[in-house]
Amino acid sequence: MGKKIKDPGLGNTSSQYAKRMVNAKGFFNVVHLNKVKKFSEAYNYLLSISWCYFFLLSFCTYIIFNVCFAFIYLTIGINQIIASTGDVLSDFLNAFFFSSQTFTTLGYGAMSPRGVSSGIVSSIEAFVGLMFFAFVTGLLYGRFSKPKASIRFSKKIILRDFNHTKAIMFRLVNNRKGTMIKPKVSVTLALTQKNNIGEYVNNFYTLNLERDKITYLPTTWTIVHQIDEFSPLFGLSKEELKKQQGEMVAMISYYDESFNQEVHQIHSYLLSDVYLDFKFVKAYYYNEKGKMVLDHKLFDCIESIKS
């Protein structure tokens, strides 16, 4: 039986109905309740959301600002910008378009402030617009320059005969064309078990790997944990292993030339999702010109090895 380790930070307490610790995006499944929200956290939040949500949020904020200022212009009098049409909707649209030109500091010249009140409001709006676009520009730069690993983990994890015993395997590849420099990986197994008083607890084990680091990775890397006498899974049949309430949490780190620093990524697999007696299809080969070809369509492909 493998040697247990102390809680690596995932928590010893568990439940019969506990779901996986790490989701498909590589984030820990933790729900925060009664957490005090701080404005200082807005920057990190806006860096972490998806690009679609970021642009949608930016556009909606832009529209809300201009709608608010359009109502202010209507309140002080649309005649201070342009002659009133007598129609509320048309006047609102004129106020909105003038607000948009002021907010973006564009200004076509067709409409302009004609009074002190509209001049004061437009001056304030121009300042707010400059701050808004400066903030969005900073966020765009931060999102592009934020160090982020781009590792693709295989969707499937397999269990097969290996070196006169069994081994559990998954593989990974760099989603970018660049080479991963000195990648290293560690895998922690969390087994949920019932103790002698009927409570469910997590027991943690560091899995020994065939190789936990290499010099560079231009193609794929198959991570292999051999189930020998030093493995916490030793003594279990293939079917018994699949019935275990366990999760393998893998963390890989490597030096990324694009960001000029080390980056990390986390992924997890459930033991219940293991494919028995399969092997990975080789995803790279050499073409007629002698160049190595990495076919990403083959990366998740597996084939049965049963006779």
Signed CA dihedral, 54, 55, 60, 63: sign only: positive
Q: Give φ, ψ of 237 to 5 degrees.
A: -75, 170
pTM: 0.78
Q: What pLDDT shows up at residue 112?
A: 87
Q: What pLDDT shows up at residue 307?
A: 54
Q: What pLDDT shows up at residue 1?
A: 54
In the chain, domain spans? 4-16+148-304, 50-145
Q: What pLDDT shows up at residue 180?
A: 84
d(CA 167, CA 226): 4
d(CA 246, CA 233): 10
CA atoms within 13 A on the CB side of 89: 0
What CATH code would you report for 50-145? 1.10.287.70
CATH C-level class of 4-16+148-304? mainly beta
Cβ atoms of residues 75 and 121 within 8 Å: no
Q: What pLDDT shows up at residue 175?
A: 86
Strand partners for 106: none
Q: To which H or E segment does residue 157 belong?
A: strand 157-162
β-pair type (200-206, 165-174) = unpaired
Q: What pLDDT shows up at residue 2?
A: 60
**pLDDT string in tens for the chain (307-residue length):** 566 888 888 788 877 777 788 887 788 888 888 888 877 788 888 888 889 999 999 999 999 999 999 999 999 999 989 888 889 999 999 999 999 999 998 888 888 888 899 899 999 999 999 999 999 999 999 888 888 888 999 999 999 999 889 999 999 998 888 778 899 999 999 988 877 787 888 889 999 999 999 998 888 999 999 999 889 999 888 888 888 888 999 999 998 877 788 899 999 999 999 999 999 999 988 988 888 898 999 999 999 987 5
CA 190 to each of CA 4, 214, 307: distance values in angstroms, whole numbers, following the listed order: 10, 25, 33
